[in-house]
Amino acid sequence: MTTSNSVNGAGSLNISLFSAFAAAALKTAKGILNGRTVMHGDKRIEPRAGSPKPPATTSRTVTERTSIGDAGQVKPKATVWRHGKIPGYETIKTAVVQIDEPQVRESAPDVATPAALPSPGKAVSTRDISRLKELNHWRHEVALAVAKNAKLDLSKFPLTPEPVLAGGERHATQREIAQGAAYPGRLIKDLINAGMGRREAQEAFHRMAIHQLNHREWPVLSRALNFDDGTFTSVQTPAAHLTPLKGGYQASGVNGICSSERDRNDHAVNLMQTRLVDNDGKELFAGVRSATIGADIKDAAGRKHASHVRAGETIKAALDLRPDLVAAAKAGKVPVLRMTSTSLMSPSRIATKEAAYLKTQVDAWQEINQASQKNGYIFVQGFGDSPIRVKVEILPFSVGVNSFAFLGPSSLQGLIGGWDTSDRINDASLGTLMGWTQDFLRSNPQSEHFDRVITLRREIREIVDNKLHHQDGGDPYKLASRLQELAYRIGAVPAFNCKSGKDRTGQCDVEVKSAIMLERMKKGDAPKPNAVLTPHQQNVLRTTQLESGTLEITKSNTGAMGLMINSGGPFAASNAKRTGAGGEEDGLARALHD
């Protein structure tokens, strides 16, 4: 992509202007996301309340394994596909200004997980005071468990009591939510006063919270979505419930891997299948969602190993959605599993670590593609007593959807939003995807998906050719959602992820399912790219956001319901306006720090 030296025809962009813009943007983004008030001139930008920053951590030793997530032995060799080179390799810039330190994972002590406070008998708001009480109570229990394990004497230095939250059925106030955000920091200070070192207390609290979240129940979320024109069911199935992965999770003694455990090396993070079925049980969509495949591990060999494990589990989850391919493999054939893998992260080169995560993720997919191409298949375990042989073809995509992706003029978006990186990955993959699409249309002229596939192909080309996805346009997920739907309709398995697998990933899931339901209820009613939603379209989107299980997934990962997709102050993406947000989707996200 050629970078212009002018901004809106105003003349050349000099270094001082760029530096000032980048510094201001970075200051605002960091301030808002880390809980500080930011001043721009005389404008006061209030932060999202957040608990203390994750502590800096030390590196750890990664246990070596002899398999790549049991998905096959990977040997990086050059290979060429039918439609060209494997996309995404050697295209990702590694220059990243690292702000956040990687979070450490160690074996947490075997401490019984305290039961959550009983939920009220009827549905309550995500912002209900009872939910904030539950969150504060759990954090207090985490601190107690840390103190017990460290044999601290709390009689002289007791823990700060849970904040007093008076009243019955009501929303928590912003002040109460801010108090909740600050509460973990106060508890950590108490642990320090009781005799722990600062970093020791921070890491122990962090590890214990992860330990307890991973050992809580991660249920299958089956949620009815009822509309005047149709009834549907959204199903989200965590990895520990999937046949090919269940044994591994049982061996690890966990029910899930929460999004804070970014350096996990034996399981994918926040991995689950997502499906949509109609009232008759007919499947309308199926895919795989997760946190980034790129592990946050400093050691290169350990990072590569962990990322291949995550990729391997993602392949197993995808293959589990295609019982026809599993049956063929068990019969001695070598079926072809086609997948797309869409990263929703913004590979900015000025602020976050998401460019590094993306590079690791795309490298992992490339190496697995190479192994499959060289040998004609990879071995996949978990589908019986013996491994099965499957040929995999995986297309990586990169489509940023948060405020960073849309920040700044077009001439700076390659640097700020990472679109130079994303465009190279997407340009290579789109050629192959369009080839798959043409194969489907040629072979399935009578398919019920035929007309919609043609529409999706046209819209994707329009979006990419005009770079509409580089701008918010009131529709941040315009490209990402259509890539998932198209992949599913032509017989591939779509996989999509952000850094944590809960917020951006959850909203992408909502957008895809909403469009499919709208199309199902009335042909042609799926929203057009960047179009202002009709009241009916907005109702379907918002209902899906609140009732499809997305908010429950955020609770499994953090301890509280709430999406962080509306954060970013004046730079926030347009999700709130698009969905007609009323605050329920935010929930208690502002009491968290992630």
pLDDT digits over 532-579, tens only?
Answer: 999 999 999 999 999 999 999 999 999 999 999 987 777 789 999 999
Across the range 87-106, mean pLDDT stands at: 30
246: left (phi over 0), alpha (psi -120 to 50) or beta: alpha
Whether 292 shows a pLDDT value over 50: the answer reads yes
CA 521, 524, 530, 532 dihedral sign is negative
Dihedral (Cα; 312, 318, 319, 321), 10-degree rounding: 160
Helical pair 450-465 and 419-443, crossing angle rounded to 10 deg = 160
Across the range 217-224, mean pLDDT stands at: 98
| Residue 349 pLDDT | 78
Q: Which of 121-135, 151-165, 271-285 has the lowest mean pLDDT?
A: 121-135
Across the range 520-526, mean pLDDT stands at: 92
Whether 81 shows a pLDDT value over 60: the answer reads no
Burial class (CB in 10 A: 0-12, 13-18, 19+), 402: buried
Q: Tell me the C-alpha to C-alpha distance, in Å, between residue 505 and each of 128, 157, 571.
A: 24, 42, 19
**Structure letter (DSSP) for residue 39:** E
| Residue 417 pLDDT | 78
> Please, what is the average pLDDT of the chain?
83
| pLDDT tier for residue 436 given thresholds of 50, 70 and 90 | very high
| pLDDT tier for residue 28 given thresholds of 50, 70 and 90 | very low
Whether 521 shows a pLDDT value over 70: the answer reads yes
Q: Which of 169-183, 424-438, 570-584 has the lowest mean pLDDT?
A: 570-584
Across the range 171-193, mean pLDDT stands at: 96
Q: Which of 99-103, 159-163, 249-253, 560-564 has the lowest mean pLDDT?
A: 99-103
Instruction: Please check whether residue 181 is in contact with residue 111, taking contact to mean a CB–CB distance below 8 angstroms.
Output: no
Q: Which of 65-79, 227-241, 496-510 has the lowest mean pLDDT?
A: 65-79
Across the range 235-246, mean pLDDT stands at: 99
| Residue 507 pLDDT | 98
Look at residues 378, 403, 400, 402 and name the one whose alpha carbon lies nearest to residue 388.
378
Percentage above 90 pLDDT, the chain: 72
Tell me the pTM.
Answer: 0.81
| Residue 351 pLDDT | 67
Q: Which of 118-122, 168-172, 342-346 has the highest mean pLDDT?
A: 342-346
Whether 222 shows a pLDDT value over 70: the answer reads yes
Whether 482 shows a pLDDT value over 90: the answer reads yes
Across the range 293-309, mean pLDDT stands at: 97
Across the range 79-90, mean pLDDT stands at: 32
518-545 burial, b if ≥16 CB within 10 A, otherwise e? Answer: bbbbeeebbbebeeebeeebbbbbbbbb
Whether 119 shows a pLDDT value over 90: the answer reads no
Q: Within 13 A of 335's CA, how many CA atoms are on the CB side?
A: 18
Whether 13 shows a pLDDT value over 50: the answer reads no
Percentage above 70 pLDDT, the chain: 78
